[in-house]
Amino acid sequence: SAQLNELAQKAGKKYFGTATDSPELYSHATYFSILTDRKEFGQLTPANGQKWSYIEPQYNVFNYTEGEVVTNIARQNGQMLRCHNLVWHRQLPNWVMTTTSTWDKANMTAMLRQHVYNEASHWKGQCYAWDVVNEGLNKNGTYRDNSIFYQVLGEEYLKIAFEAAALADPSAKLYYNDYGIEAAGPKAEGAKRIVKLIKDAGLRIDGVGLQSHFTVGGTPSIDRQISNMQSFAELGVEVAITELDIRLNLLPPVTAANLAQQKRDYKTTVGACMQVEKCVGVTVWDFYDPSSWVPSVFPEQGAATLYFANFTKHPAYHGVVEAITNK
């Protein structure tokens, strides 16, 4: 059987990995053996446990238990880690979300710095990369204004976050991560503006994460994905595909034809990374349909991952193999 990480590394990539947050399945022999097979997945991302609401549920009370569930699995199995995430407008504890009147520039700067510094310090030396700021842009490329950090601090919050992360963990690659930036357009331009903002401030940013939550048939062409990746690389950062999944409409039910299209779309996306030197690796946002976030948000969509509920492989799995092995 094919082994995605082993093949990807042979082809010059740093890893092929997966996100996971299914503690109920860590005692399930099949799920767990796939998850921890370093030949299949050389890298793990905790899908939730490192988010702010778990890490600092109350002001200045830090709890790393949830995040360590997955980071310990990775360590025990010799897998790389992408750490996710330090600053996001979602999954915030209530104390952060209190009315903006609680916050002024001074006290928010202090608490943001402390959060980022403490969390990144906790995993110092263990994360290949940190998603320092996640999803900071609107669709039109302007800064997301429903982020409390932007509301209080403006674009300054990005600099504060990258500065504190660099201070805490000099060896982690520091990433800006978002969806909708996988092909040229206003939002990809916004992400480039962020890269320049951080660099112009004399701070470190090493990468841009292309989440790549696609829909079958709605995946950008390989040429568009390649040229987009190259346009980031030209700014002096690496890129990675950080949250790949490609969802199907479940009504009407899944057919051989749309599974074949899904295979082409996975092959296209992984193939783009394979062709761009500065694309360091691919992470799927879980590998198992029942663990995917998609149906909870899009009730009529799903089957977005590489394995069906009965642990047989989607045709898309073989599309990924073909992309990696250039067939």
Which residues make up the interface to ligand G3I (CB under 6 A)?
A: 21, 47-48, 90-91, 134, 211, 243, 293
Q: 254: buried, middle or exposed (CB in 10 Å: 19+, 13-18, 0-12)?
A: middle
Q: 28 in the Ramachandran plot: left (φ > 0), alpha (ψ -120 to 50) or beta?
A: beta
Q: Which is nearer to ligand G3I, 9 or 305 (CB)?
A: 305
As measured in angstroms, the least distance from the Cβ of 82 to ligand G3I is 11
Residue 182 falls in the annotated catalytic set: no
| Residues in CB range of 173: below 8 A, 6 or more apart | 128, 129, 130, 206, 207, 238
DSSP conformational letter for 269: H
As measured in angstroms, the least distance from the Cβ of 65 to ligand G3I is 12
Q: Which is nearer to ligand G3I, 3 or 66 (CB)?
A: 66
Q: Which is nearer to ligand G3I, 63 or 102 (CB)?
A: 63
**Nearest residue to 132 via CA among 68, 184, 197, 187:** 197
As measured in angstroms, the least distance from the Cβ of 200 to ligand G3I is 26
CA distance 113 to 94: 18
Q: Which is nearer to ligand G3I, 63 or 91 (CB)?
A: 91
As measured in angstroms, the least distance from the Cβ of 215 to ligand G3I is 13
174 sits in which H/E element = strand 173-178
Which residue's Cβ has the minimum distance to ligand G3I? 293
Q: Which is nearer to ligand G3I, 18 or 109 (CB)?
A: 18
Q: Which is nearer to ligand G3I, 23 or 236 (CB)?
A: 23
Pairing of the two strands 301-302 and 279-284 = unpaired
As measured in angstroms, the least distance from the Cβ of 221 to ligand G3I is 23
As measured in angstroms, the least distance from the Cβ of 88 to ligand G3I is 7
Catalytic one of 119, 163, 238, 243: 243
| Residues in CB range of 46: below 8 A, 6 or more apart | 19, 20, 21, 66, 67, 69, 70, 71, 83, 84
CA distance 327 to 324: 8
Tokens 């082994």 -> residue: 3
When computed from its CA atoms, the radius of gyration of the chain, rounded to whole angstroms, is: 19
**Nearest residue to 281 via CA among 5, 74, 84:** 5
CA distance 123 to 121: 5
Enzyme catalytic residues? 243
